[in-house]
Amino acid sequence: MSKLTILKKGIFDENPIFVLLLGLCSSLAITTTLSQAIGMGVAVIAVLTSSNMIISLLRKIIPEEIRIPIYIVIIATLVKCVQMLMNAYTPELYDSLGVFIALIVVNCIILGRAEAFASKNSVIDSALDGIGMGIGYTIAISCIAIVRELIGTGGITLTNPFDASQVLFTFSIFKEYAITLFTQPAGAFLTFGCIMAVIQTFKIKKEEKNKAKEGGK
């Protein structure tokens, strides 16, 4: 597989949230604002890439039978490092994300990619796969977060994660007509369900078009 295919695969074909439906716990909880979503996405990219690279480096040494326990320990160590770094350099983001940074350990995406890809491919390929999957994850939760924040509060505000008092950009469209349901849990399920329905409709239409083409031939 070419390097570009590996990178693109994680964004479109095997998007971890919309196609594989992995790691939904954190994706629904932290999508209330766009800053939180991007912060979480960057943390997942960091953990995913580094864990893929380390496991790919060690893939010849780890015995076949006990690979899952070893992967869990490596991922837990990396997540703890990321958590402590976020606590030090981005304290407001750390407070708002809370326990969901620690729950990256049990995020099925990371263990899934380690098992399915990193244990069988070279370091560069695994790193690209990690970056691709992480970018796909970040794009997916950013879409959900944009919808939720726009409809829920009428505008979007991005703050600098390293210095929370500095606002990077903000705009608000219709503050009086904001539906606050979307900032609550019910809105998260609703947004996610509707986005999944849109994607599923596209897939069904594409399949019907393909079938019509083959039937016509």
Partner 1 sequence: MEACIWLVGLLFLYIGLYIWNKKTPKPEGCQNITIGCDGCQLYDCTHNHVHKEGESN
Partner 2 sequence: MFNLFTLFVSLSLVNNIVLNRFYAICPLLGVSKKSENALNMGYAVTFVIVVSAIITHILYYQVLLPLGIEYLDLITFILVIAALVQFVEMFLKKTSPTIYKAMGVYLPLITTNCAVLGVALDNITAGYTLIEAAVAAFAVSVGFTVVIYLFSTIRERLEINLVPKGFKGIPISLITAALMACAMAGFAGLV
Q: Which residues bind partner 1 (CB under 8 A)?
A: 20-22, 64-66, 68-69, 72-73, 108, 111-112, 114-116
Nearest-5° angle of CA 60, CA 64, CA 65?
Answer: 155
Return phi, psi of residue 56, to 5°.
-70, -35
With CB under 8 A as the rule, give the number of residues binding partner 2.
40
CB of 27 to partner 1, least distance (A): 15
Name the amino acid, one letter, at 73. V
Structure-token match 């570009």, residue found: 4
116 binds, among partner 2, partner 1, none (CB under 5 to 8 A by kind): partner 1
Closer by beta carbon to partner 1, 17 or else 144: 17
Looking up tokens 């919309």, which residue turns up?
Answer: 18
CB-CB contact of 127 with 47 (8 Å): no
Indicate whether 180 belongs to the interface with partner 2 (CB under 8 A).
no
Least distance in Å: CB of 103 to partner 2? 5
Site residues for partner 2, 15-44, by CB under 8 A, read 21-22, 24-26, 28-29
We find the least distance from the C-beta atom of residue 118 to partner 1, in angstroms, to be 11
| Rounded-to-integer distance, Cα 124 and Cα 175, Å | 47
Place of tokens 């997942």: 44
Provide the minimum distance between the beta carbon of 192 and partner 1 in the complex, in angstroms, as a whole number. Answer: 18
Binder to partner 2 among 47, 111, 127, 135 (CB under 8 A)? 111
| Backbone angles phi and psi of 161, in degrees to 5 | -65, -30
For residue 154, the 8-state DSSP code is: S
Task: Find residue 170's DSSP bridge partners.
Answer: 157
Q: Determine contact, residues 40/139, Cβ cutoff 8 Å.
A: no
Site string for partner 2, 79-108 (x = CB under 8 A): xx--xx--------------x--xx-xx-x
Binding partner at 11 among partner 2, partner 1, none, C-beta below 5 to 8 Å by kind: none
Sign of the torsion angle spanned by Cα atoms 175, 181, 185, 187: negative
Select from partner 2, partner 1, none the partner in contact with residue 167, using the beta carbon and a kind-dependent cut-off of 5 to 8 Å: none
Count of all residues that appear for the chain in the document:
217
Q: Which residues bind partner 2 (CB under 8 A)?
A: 21-22, 24-26, 28-29, 69, 72-73, 76-77, 79-80, 83-84, 99, 102-103, 105-106, 108, 111, 181, 184-190, 192-194, 196-198, 200-201, 204
